[in-house]
Structure 1
Amino acid sequence: MTLKHISLIIFLLVFGRAFSQDEATNSEKGHTYEANWESIRSRYKIPDWFRDAKFGIFIHWGPYAVPAKGDEKYPKYMYYKDHIKKDGFNTYEYHQKTYGNHKEFGYKDFIPMFKAKKFKAEKWARLFKKSGARYVVPVAEHHDAFAMYNSNYTRWNAVNMGPKKDILGALAEAVRKQGIKFGTSSHLANWRNYYWKKTEYDNSNTEYVDLYWKPVKNKSKPSQEFLDTWWNRTTDIIDQYQPDLLWFDFGLDKPGFESVHSKILSYYYNKGEIWNKEVVFQNKNMRNVSFPEDLIVLDIERGRMDNIFKYPWQTDTSVGYKSWGYIDNEDYKTSNYLIDELIDIVSKNGCLLLNIGPKADGTIPQESVKILTEIGDWLKINGEAIYDTRPWLVYGEGPTQVNKGHHSEKKNKVFTSQDVRFTQKKGVLYATVLDWPKDNVFTIKTLSKLSKVDDRSISSVEFISGKNKINWSQTNHYLTINIKGKSPCKAAYVFKIEFKN
């Protein structure tokens, strides 16, 4: 072997080793997903931590909490003369009467009033833990474009103005200390949020264009300048706060955002690899072409599925019927209603992301505290039928049908004692009845001896929700459970069922 051959072999060995090390380093850093669906599909799956979690808290909080009127879209409708809410409230007129001319007092002028002096991230996190939530998702930036974090790309942020503290960072630290997963949401893709007039409003002043953006025509697509802004601000959130979950609103589904879809998904999933943790990306998928269903978690706003969905999914809804942010005349739901909703969602392979709207001073309204506490009390007793479970052969039985799709919750009726929802875990079946029957007798047709769903013989029935004595029998037509005494808890009642084989 000549010296030339030996030199060549040494070169190849050294080069090959260096190449392998670089390749290994890239793999360790998580550079595994390319910006196309095939590459992402080859490796990604929805993590079990999300499928097990079932219940999360959403937080809509920003300068729109200062006026506390209308809803969280106050910054949009305060500039729109002709918009009247269903309850007759006209945001434009209210603003003019309360705060004066729109040119002198615009949305920007609420920001110095948004001081959040009573905000205590640790106190919030303890409440979320008490509620039984396993993930928390604060809004990083809403349609108003005010960043609730230490942004590197906009001066209009909570560190520079208003609270003058990193709200998102404080919540991330406090929530994670409680052992709860931390997510963030972005609503910035709605670049047509504000209504412009040439001289009538303060948003005609070019000094504030970085908050209000530029006038655009209706139905126009976002400019490349806006897409670049969106990308920088979104990746800034990802890089700084390393969220376990990333949530996007309807805007990302609008025409013109197609170029960033696979790009942002691969960017975030690669970051998850670098951080060595499993992450979740959520989107509304209104146009059904934005993101493949198997690569993200579909989020349904104020609505649900009407049957078991083959992929994990999520409902986002709020403790109130009127608004996502705090308003002083909110119409609050009951914890009973929301617990039933959680049970129904989980039986269909979903999770519930329940929103609260804190006040401008940083306190959580007592109505919200009460609701979260009562949900937590129910989950302490009955949580084994919710957490870590999977759908059964059917989601349930009963006369009350749920409407499917976005913004369908207002059409749903209250559940009855005939409505039952099923979940399963480790070979055990859980049957949750959504109301207490007047005669104390629970009947479940799906678990009869002649059931077309599962006709196995039952070996045991245990009442999870209380210490009441029970008698049960499995006949050709029903599983019948007779309970002694009064209802031991509110909302819904869980039975743990095991089969002989």
Structure 2
Amino acid sequence: MAGITTIEAVANAGPFAPTWESLAHNQAPSWFADAKFGIFTHWGLYTVPEYRNEWYSRNMYIQGYPEFDHHRATYGPQNEFGYKDFIPMFRAEAFDADEWVSLFARAGARYIMPVSEHHDGFQMYRSALSHWNSVEMGPRRDVLGELRAAATRAGLHFCTSNHRAEHWWFMGHGREFDSDVREPMSRGDFYWPAMPEPNEFDTVSEPAPTAEYLEDWLLRVAEVIDNYEPELLYFDWWIQHRAFAPYLKTLAAYYYNRAAERGAQAAICYKYDALAWGAGIVDVERGGFADPTPFVWQTDTAIARNSWCYTDSLDYKTLPELVVALIDAVSNNGNLLLNVGPRADGSIADHDRALLEGIGDWLAANGAGIYGSRPWHIAHEGPTQQASGMFADQAPSAWTAADWRFTTKDGALYCFCLAPAGTRELVCASLAAFDGTHQPVFNGIVSAVEQLGAGPVPFRREPDGLHIQPADRHEPLQNLPIGFKITVG
């Protein structure tokens, strides 16, 4: 395991240095812009109670919160049954890494992103830094290692996320009353350091993370980098606190230089300006950009609106909504990282599985216009305005047959009608014919139209748009967007 001296030496050894000027020259892995679709998994100790969301470990210690009352009614007072007491219940008896990865590949994903450590501080991998990990406790399995091996066997890119930064304050409310968080603790202990909670977006809050905590954070992430060699590393939001800045630069240089030693590429996915522009891949949580960007980016979102982990009260999105989210991101030069939360035993619930398989069926027919594509000079048309920015997915949009998204690849144009169900003739206004007066948006030649997954279909260009008569589709595709390949010239 690399120590602080080794980490600093590697970070300064090149080709990258721990400065934003140097790190801004890192390039995203070449496969990333072509992959378009990955699977995120939030699975850990917080899944055991299957209650509300993945912040159970924090909320069960906040008096007046539903988790606080639920915990007392179900498991007993927090000084008798604390969060750590869920560990023996987390057995993962149904966990099969190959089965997970097979399902993710069936869904059409090209990369996977399991969480290595969430805010709760329970590591889902073998660690020399803390005994509170899935190898020494609970499942007694190296979950991250098994998923990496399974992804390699399946030909999927292996990535991971780390949410350790927020642990500085995540268990802090447990000090406010008689709970097990008030027990003596030191570095390496499960709840340590359990500090007072700041405003989560305050980059200058006090007490700021100490050098001891930040070194521990650096060592933990470097351990994941060295032992599991992720192709992408994702951080949640709180690393933008100013105390992390020098450690984050060191970590990024270490990660990028380690990848260079192997002749590989790597990149950090980040939010809220935690990295200097260009030093990693911009991630937009539960949202995206309104228009095509000159840089490739990623949105991470979940199959449910109200939780990232499995619970008994998930507000699921619909299959059409998820497919549109993928198309919309890709048309704007983004990737979709879609989260699914397995159950505590390691199984994936039937409805979650059905959604993933539905996406896979759609991509099997329409993937030619998704994988490896790039934005066209027009990204979208239609009356429905998609919300942009963070957390824009909290209410579904009502798409119509007049709403379209566009991509391009290998000289062809791909057009996706977002809500074609029940419409016998679709009209794409951006491909309208010359009306004798005004130059059309597309002034080229349409020589053929092919419905993806169905073959050539009748079309004609009129001054109001390209009229397409789609082929009949059967379940499971008939209520989903339709993609068309437009051959031009």
TM-score (structure 1 length as normaliser): 0.89
Q: Superposed, which structure 2 residues align to 1:195-344 within 5 Å?
A: 195-197=173-175, 200-207=178-185, 210-217=189-196, 218=198, 219-220=205-206, 221-284=208-271, 286=272, 288=273, 290-344=274-328
Matched, 1:60 2:60: no
Q: Letter of the aligned partner of 2:192 in structure 1?
A: W
Given candidates 129, 134, 138, the residue that maps to 2:105 is 129
Q: Give 2:399's aligned residue.
A: 415
SS in 1 for 2:165: coil
Given candidates 29, 37, 44, the residue that maps to 1:47 is 29
Q: Give 2:331's aligned residue.
A: 347
Q: Letter of the aligned partner of 1:143 in structure 2?
A: H
SS in 1 for 2:161: strand
Q: Give 1:95's aligned residue.
A: 71
Distance 1:93 1:436, change over 3 A: same
Q: Is the 8 A contact 1:55 1:132 kept in 2?
A: yes
Given candidates 9, 13, 18, the residue that maps to 1:35 is 18
Structure 1: which 5+ runs fail to align? 1-25, 84-89
Given candidates 464, 469, 493, the residue that maps to 2:482 is 493
SS in 2 for 1:480: strand
Q: Is the 8 A contact 1:436 1:487 kept in 2?
A: no
Determine the C-alpha separation between the residues in 2 that align with 1:265 and 1:428. Answer: 38
TM-score (structure 2 length as normaliser): 0.91
SS in 2 for 1:95: helix
Q: Is the 8 A contact 1:393 1:453 kept in 2?
A: no
Q: Larger deviation: 365-374 or 409-418?
A: 409-418
- State the shift of 1:411 in Å: 4.2
Q: Give 1:393's aligned residue.
A: 377
Q: Is the 8 A contact 1:46 1:295 kept in 2?
A: no
Determine the C-alpha separation between the residues in 2 that align with 1:255 and 1:411. Answer: 33
Q: Letter of the aligned partner of 2:180 in structure 1?
A: D
Determine the C-alpha separation between the residues in 1 that align with 2:454 and 2:226. Answer: 46
Q: Give 1:365's aligned residue.
A: 349
Q: Is the 8 A contact 2:185 2:193 kept in 1?
A: no
Distance 1:347 1:157, change over 3 A: same
Determine the C-alpha separation between the residues in 2 that align with 1:292 and 1:460. Answer: 45
Q: Give 1:446's aligned residue.
A: 430
Q: Superposed, which structure 2 residues align to 1:448-487 within 5 Å?
A: 448-450=432-434, 452-467=440-455, 470-483=457-470, 485=472
Task: Tell me how many residue pairs correspond in the alignment.
Answer: 463
Q: Give 2:169's aligned residue.
A: 192
Determine the C-alpha separation between the residues in 2 that align with 1:315 and 1:169. Answer: 25
Q: Give 1:76's aligned residue.
A: 58
Q: Is the 8 A contact 2:185 2:192 kept in 1?
A: no
Q: Letter of the aligned partner of 1:499 in structure 2?
A: V
Q: Letter of the aligned partner of 2:327 in structure 1?
A: I
Distance 1:484 1:132, change over 3 A: closer
Q: Is the 8 A contact 2:23 2:278 kept in 1?
A: no
Given candidates 102, 126, 134, the residue that maps to 1:150 is 126
- State the shift of 1:161 in Å: 0.2
Q: Larger deviation: 51-60 or 446-455?
A: 446-455
1:175-210 deviations in Å (ceiling 9; x for gaps)? 111000000100110011011326601011114762
1:359-380 deviations in Å (ceiling 9; x for gaps)? 1111111111111111111111
1:24-46 deviations in Å (ceiling 9; x for gaps)? xx99x98310111222334x222
Q: Letter of the aligned partner of 1:36 in structure 2?
A: T
- State the shift of 1:292 in Å: 2.5
Distance 1:41 1:71, change over 3 A: closer
- State the shift of 1:332 in Å: 1.5
Q: Superposed, which structure 2 residues align to 1:430-445 within 5 Å?
A: 430-436=414-420, 438-445=422-429
Distance 1:359 1:402, change over 3 A: same
Determine the C-alpha separation between the residues in 2 that align with 1:444 and 1:48. Answer: 33
Determine the C-alpha separation between the residues in 1 that align with 2:297 and 2:309. Answer: 24
1:147-181 deviations in Å (ceiling 9; x for gaps)? 00001111100000000010000000001110000
Determine the C-alpha separation between the residues in 1 that align with 2:424 and 2:486. Answer: 18
Distance 1:251 1:354, change over 3 A: same
Determine the C-alpha separation between the residues in 2 that align with 1:39 and 1:342. Answer: 33
Determine the C-alpha separation between the residues in 1 that align with 2:430 and 2:474. Answer: 23
Q: Give 2:4's aligned residue.
A: none
Q: Is the 8 A contact 1:340 1:415 kept in 2?
A: no
- State the shift of 1:477 in Å: 2.9
Distance 1:236 1:495, change over 3 A: same
Q: Is the 8 A contact 1:57 1:353 kept in 2?
A: yes
- State the shift of 1:452 in Å: 4.9
SS in 1 for 2:164: coil
SS in 1 for 2:405: strand
Q: Is the 8 A contact 1:137 1:185 kept in 2?
A: yes
- State the shift of 1:464 in Å: 1.3
Q: Letter of the aligned partner of 2:17 in structure 1?
A: E
Q: Larger deviation: 412-421 or 487-496?
A: 487-496
SS in 2 for 1:230: helix
Determine the C-alpha separation between the residues in 1 that align with 2:401 and 2:453. Answer: 15
Distance 1:486 1:49, change over 3 A: closer
Q: Is the 8 A contact 2:451 2:471 kept in 1?
A: no
Determine the C-alpha separation between the residues in 1 that align with 2:472 and 2:137. Answer: 58
- State the shift of 1:281 in Å: 1.1
Determine the C-alpha separation between the residues in 1 that align with 2:293 and 2:237. Answer: 21
Distance 1:58 1:215, change over 3 A: closer
Q: Letter of the aligned partner of 1:196 in structure 2?
A: G
Determine the C-alpha separation between the residues in 2 that align with 1:153 and 1:165. Answer: 16
- State the shift of 1:70 in Å: 1.4
1:283-329 deviations in Å (ceiling 9; x for gaps)? 01x2x3x2123221111111111111221111111111111111112
| Percent of matched pairs sharing the same residue | 37
